[in-house]
Each structure stands twice: as C-alpha cells, then as structure tokens.
Structure 1
C-alpha cells in the first residue's frame, strides 16, 4: 500500500555561495519523507522566500501525491498577482512536491514525468569567462585576453563540446570588463549599443573561437543588454561567425521575430517567462529557434506543458540552469524526458565549497551529463553544510550594487 505522503512541514533554508545565496525549500510528510527543491532570489527575484512563507500553510494536511491539485489551489489564491515571484514560489513548491512523490514511490523523478527518452544530456559550459572575471570569488581569475584564451582551450581539454559567453569590453592593454546595462552594469537605461561594444564583441568571439578550436560550439548570450536596433547592430557585426545560437532577452515577441528574420544565427530566448500563456505568443510569432525554459521558476511539471506546446510549433527547448547542483539535477530529469530538447545549460566554474552543500554532484562525461537513477531528483542539500555557510545579507538584486544617484 503506497504511503499517503501527508504534508506536515514546509520550510525554506539558504546558504552563502560566496557571491550570491542558494535557496532551498524542504517539504516533510507525516511519515518522514523529505522533498527538496532549489529556487533563486538573485536573478531579479527578491521575495520568493516570503511568498512561500505566506502561502505554505495551505499545504499542511494535503497529500504531496496530488501536486497538481495543490498547485491549482495556490494558483487560485494568488491569481491576481500571478507570474513574477509568485509564479516562482509556486514553481519551487511544485518541484519539492515532485521530489516527495518520487521518493514515496521510490523512483527517480523522471519516472513520474513520462520516463527517459535519453540516458545522458549534452551540456554547454555557461558563463565561460564571466564567472572567472569575478576575481574576488574565483582564483585564478580572468582579467585579460590571455585568461580568455586559457579558458577557451580548457573547455575542450576537459571534454566539453560547447560553451556560452557574454559581452566584454577590451581596453588598450587587452584587459577585459563585462558590459551588461540590462542588469545595471553600467547604469544606462537606454541600453544603447555603441561602436566600441560592437567591435569588442567581435574581438571577444574571435579570441574564443581561436582558443577553443573549430570543433567547439560557441553560444552567445546578449541578455537584456540592448533593444531591437542594438541587437541588430551586434548581429550584423558577427554575421559571418559560426555560432550555435545567439540568446536575446526581449519581452516583445514581434520584435524578436523581426530580429530573427534579419539574421542567419539561430535565436534562443524566453528564459524569464513564467507560465505557458507567456510562451505562446513567442511560438505563434515564430520568434525563436529554441525556447529556454526556467524549470525552477515554472516548476518541472508545468515546464513539460510548455515543452509540449513548443513541440506543436516545431520548436526545441533548453533549460535555463545557472544555479546550484540541485537545480542541475532537476533540469537533468526534465531534459531526460523531453523529446524536443536542444541542449542543457550548466555552470562548470564552481566555488570551493559547492560540492559540500549537496549529497551528490552531477557527473559529466565527454560533454554530457549522466542522468542519475537515485529516487527523487537524485541529490539533496546537506543541511549541516548549509549551516556552516550562513547566507549573506548584502547580496541580491536590490543589494549588490550601489544605488545610482543623480545630481540635484
């Protein structure tokens, strides 16, 4: 007789990851089964923890086996404020309920999601250069063109077949600096793309291509760092380069479709969308070659619905994954079952204590992540380690940068 998985406790935990915090949700049942999910408050999402605490009482006494019923109840009571941090809270709850249900049935989560269509998932090394440019957190850090060349070579040497990088400026001594006005670095609300950015982006990609070699796929992430005119300027400058995709964040599907129609490069987008309704206009407008789905934000069960809709529009999907190892495992199970998968994002550069925080870490072989067969997501936070690295009070989207001031 299966256990009924009646929920008795809902709790959030967090810890430091040096330059940001990791956030976790733990759901415990009356029979002692513990389900986990990982969520994020660093990527423009302050307050997810508070939303969870405000609605979690509605889970107590319910069965985690009925995760769709629970989510619909939570959706009903938060409908006027749906999306944003509310949607992310629902995603975190759904993912922890899936872990409970899978552990109750003693199966991997992918068994709940339809079963595997693949045993391994091709990954790309994300934030290549970007993370190591944080020299106060990564050692050795990357400060100049030689560091860019070194990490480009390292991708292939470590067995990976694809990398994704970002926009960098180079000075007259070939020292690098990141450029991301879409995230306030620098503060420039117009997000104009000027000549130096265009030329330096081409230089950066040429350096990475030369170092990585012709057999490594190069992905480029432009984020929210431009508007339609600026994105087109960047794409024209790099039109002749061999890129796997160019990732662009814009909330206007028609604008993105216009951009896509004016470049030969495949376009990926949608990583900041929540819910199938937000994705559908991008599918209808044929705005993307690859739809990126943030499964921690949306919930893996809901993400399957989005992937199925993408399939109906002959569009492949890729998970957004730049969080901790639990998120990587959650995305691995999603990637294992989705037929229309393109590739999976993962971060290879990790701080020293990252592995201590989880019971199991992802296994990579020849550029692929091997799907785990352990019950649930296949890893859990190590609670003792979480306590050893208390969360930082000075990180997050509203705290990490000085407030821009105008003269009076």
Structure 2
C-alpha cells in the first residue's frame, strides 16, 4: 500500500475553523485526521504541502516510521504549526492502518479497557453568551440565565461542566486575554473581576448542586499572581479543577502550592519532552493531552508516561466530532483517564460533517468501535462551509461590572 495524495479542508465552524487532512492510498483506503488550530489554519495546511514529498509513495501503515520521517524533516522548526500538521497526518495514517485491518483504533492499540468515558459539557455558557443566534440557544444576559443553564446541563444527564469567565449581559462576552482586554500581556485580575468570578462559580454551584463537578478555564489569560488570587477565592466551591496554561512549570507549581483548588494544565504541550518538567514537579493535579495537536501515538505515550508519575489525564477536545472520536479512542486505551472534554453547544450542522456522531448517554460517551475512528468526514458538507477569517468570534469590549445582574 502506498500514499498517493494528501488533501486538506478548512471548515468554517461558526466562530472558529476546523482543519482536516485526508490521506489517500493506491488501494482505495482513505484516512482522516483532525488538527484544528483556531488561529493559524492556513499555516497548518501549508505544512501539508511541505510534508507531502516525505510521504507520497510511502507505506501509510508504518505510521510510526512516517511520524519520524516528518519529525526529521521539521526538526529545525519543532512544535507549533509543524507539530499540528504532523499530528493530523499521523492520525490519518493510524486510521488507514486500522481500516486496512478491519478494526477500530482502540483495537489497534491493544483493545479498549473501557466501553465508555465520562464527558463534561465544555465552554458551558461561553459559546452561548457570544453566539446565541448562531447556536439557536437562549441568550446569557443575567445571573438567572446562568442558573437556568446549569439546571439544563443537569437535566440533560451530564455530571460535569467547564466554563470560562462568562460576562452576562446584552451583547455579553467572556473575559479573554485573546482580546487584549488586560493589556498586551498584563494579565492581572482587578478586584471587581475577582468578585465577578466568585459570583459566576457560586451561581453555577447553586444551580447544579454539591456533587456536580465544575471546571473553570483561565487559559493563558492571567499571570500566576492573578491565578493564585482566583484559585483562593474559589476554594469554597470545591472545583473539579481550575485550568491554567503556563509554559513555566515552576510558576504553575507556585500556583498549585498556594491553594486547595485542584489545577489542570497541558493542552498546549507537545510530546513527552514537554510534559516531563511538569510531571517531575507534579506541577498540576490533572494533565490535558490534545490528540489533534500531538497525534494518536504520541498522545498514548504521554498518557502512559503520566501513569508512571501517578497522574490522571484528560483529553483536550475543542473541535469537531472527528476529534471527539479520536479523543475517546485514546481514553479507551489508557488506564489513568479523569474525564473527557466535549462541546455540546455548536454549529447546527455539526452532526452532518461526520458519517457517524458520538453517542452520549447519562454524561458518558460510548467508545467508537467501527473501523478506524468509526467515521469519515462528509466532504460535501465540509466544502459547503468554507472558513472565513472574519468569523473569528472574539469581542473587543467588556461591559462595566455594574451591568451584570
């Protein structure tokens, strides 16, 4: 079997792009991978063109060999966009190998050790506050709307959610460093915002009850000093985790040691070598792994290494159903999974993009069992939704705190 063609698709998923790669073979077996980057999709796609000469004519079933061919070919540009492109292709090659054998990816990697994985409703309120018209969901304008959303999540069978620093109001938003709202890189937390975060999580807690798990994602939006203040003020609410991204493991450890609030990190890290400094320091309680940005084989290695350090992992999964199937396949072959991310509020045609959709019942997603990932991309739907960079959905203003009610 030989690779004959590599094709990419940048799909406009409302306020962000989803990026897919299709690898074709001379035996008619096609593999799919997702490697979505919300900020640099064209950069990732450009890497496919650069990587193609290393792959065309090669055997796709030897996906580990092909991975190292690509790593050697990009060794002067490690990580970042190059890693994401490599990950997308590697996932497509894994898909081909499993399909050629007529088995699922989980079977290819030793067989599933679980039939389903617990999932949490991610970006809960964050998507609705900015895009209610696109989603066809109620707006988030008051604290009562946050309460109603929390109750909806429980009623729909979920046992966990993750939100951002949602700012209810007409034309509301969520507080994001992507918008430059805290200056170029000041990333501090003013007192009014600290009180707002306390009210937000308190409102969710009252709505979902004491046993429900709540995560709050701070991303890269706050410096360690601000993260410590936020973590400490949230201690009474018993968060499942406070999610913080830092490229300095010592800074993250400082935050962890300052609070009883549990810390999660890792979605922006690549390969085992990036994780080792964090694992060695036990700089966080839970570590995220992004399959579309690492590839499936490297993600499995990261998860196994985390087990050596007695740490739990949780896939980062802010993408399409293809990514959810890939991430659930990873959960199927790891023994140290905490929970898996999935977005419930999304573009109305999301289910049409893949030939199968995740099965979720009572807050658990069934592990895919069909050949490969268990689904392919519907190319007609992908082409019907091209990406337009003007769709990026980040607000440039935040209402003053007195507007929240």
TM class by smaller structure? over 0.9
Is the aligned partner of 1:23 residue 2:23?
Answer: no
1:310 matched to which residue of 2?
A: 306
Q: CA RMSD in A?
A: 1.8
Give the TM-score normalised by the residue count of structure 1.
0.92
Q: Secondary structure at the match of 2:120?
A: strand
1:162 matched to which residue of 2?
A: 160
Q: Secondary structure at the match of 2:76?
A: helix
Q: Distance in 1 between matches of 2:395 and 2:206?
A: 34
8 Å CA contact retained: 1:316, 1:342: yes
Deviation at residue 363 of structure 1 after TM alignment:
0.5
Is the aligned partner of 1:281 residue 2:277?
Answer: yes
1:106 matched to which residue of 2?
A: 102
Equivalences for residues 37-56 of structure 1 within 5 A: 37-43=33-39, 47-56=43-52
- The superposition leaves residues 237-273 of structure 1 with CA deviations (integer Å, 9 ceiling, x where unpaired) of 1122111111111111011111111111211101101
> Unmatched 5+ residue regions in structure 2?
397-405
Give the TM-score normalised by the residue count of structure 2.
0.93
8 Å CA contact retained: 1:257, 1:286: yes
8 Å CA contact retained: 2:146, 2:204: yes
Q: Distance in 1 between matches of 2:219 and 2:42?
A: 19
2:29 matched to which residue of 1?
A: 33
Deviation at residue 176 of structure 1 after TM alignment:
5.0
Is the aligned partner of 1:151 residue 2:149?
Answer: yes
Alpha carbons of structure 1 residues 393 and 203: separation in structure 2 relative to 1, 3 Å: closer
Q: Distance in 2 between matches of 1:149 and 1:223?
A: 24
2:225 matched to which residue of 1?
A: 229
1:200 matched to which residue of 2?
A: 196
8 Å CA contact retained: 2:214, 2:241: yes
- The superposition leaves residues 85-144 of structure 1 with CA deviations (integer Å, 9 ceiling, x where unpaired) of 011111111100000111011100111122111000000100000011123422233222
8 Å CA contact retained: 2:36, 2:319: yes
Q: Secondary structure at the match of 2:6?
A: strand
Find the partner of 2:260 among 261, 264, 284: 264
Q: Distance in 2 between matches of 1:385 and 1:125?
A: 25
Find the partner of 2:135 among 132, 135, 138: 138
Work out the number of aligned pairs and report it. Answer: 394
2:401 matched to which residue of 1?
A: none
Is the aligned partner of 1:74 residue 2:70?
Answer: yes
Find the partner of 1:59 among 55, 58, 61: 55
Q: Secondary structure at the match of 1:204?
A: helix
Deviation at residue 320 of structure 1 after TM alignment:
0.3
2:357 matched to which residue of 1?
A: 361
Greater mean deviation of Cα atoms: 93-102 or 254-263? 254-263
8 Å CA contact retained: 2:240, 2:262: yes
8 Å CA contact retained: 2:352, 2:381: yes
8 Å CA contact retained: 1:145, 1:176: no
Alpha carbons of structure 1 residues 211 and 270: separation in structure 2 relative to 1, 3 Å: same
1:406 matched to which residue of 2?
A: none
Alpha carbons of structure 1 residues 185 and 376: separation in structure 2 relative to 1, 3 Å: farther
Greater mean deviation of Cα atoms: 188-197 or 157-166? 188-197
1:6 matched to which residue of 2?
A: 2
2:211 matched to which residue of 1?
A: 215
Q: Distance in 1 between matches of 2:361 and 2:87?
A: 30
Q: Secondary structure at the match of 1:133?
A: helix
Q: Distance in 2 between matches of 1:193 and 1:247?
A: 16
Q: Distance in 2 between matches of 1:217 and 1:383?
A: 37
> Unmatched 5+ residue regions in structure 1?
403-408
Q: Distance in 1 between matches of 2:200 and 2:74?
A: 45
Alpha carbons of structure 1 residues 215 and 239: separation in structure 2 relative to 1, 3 Å: closer
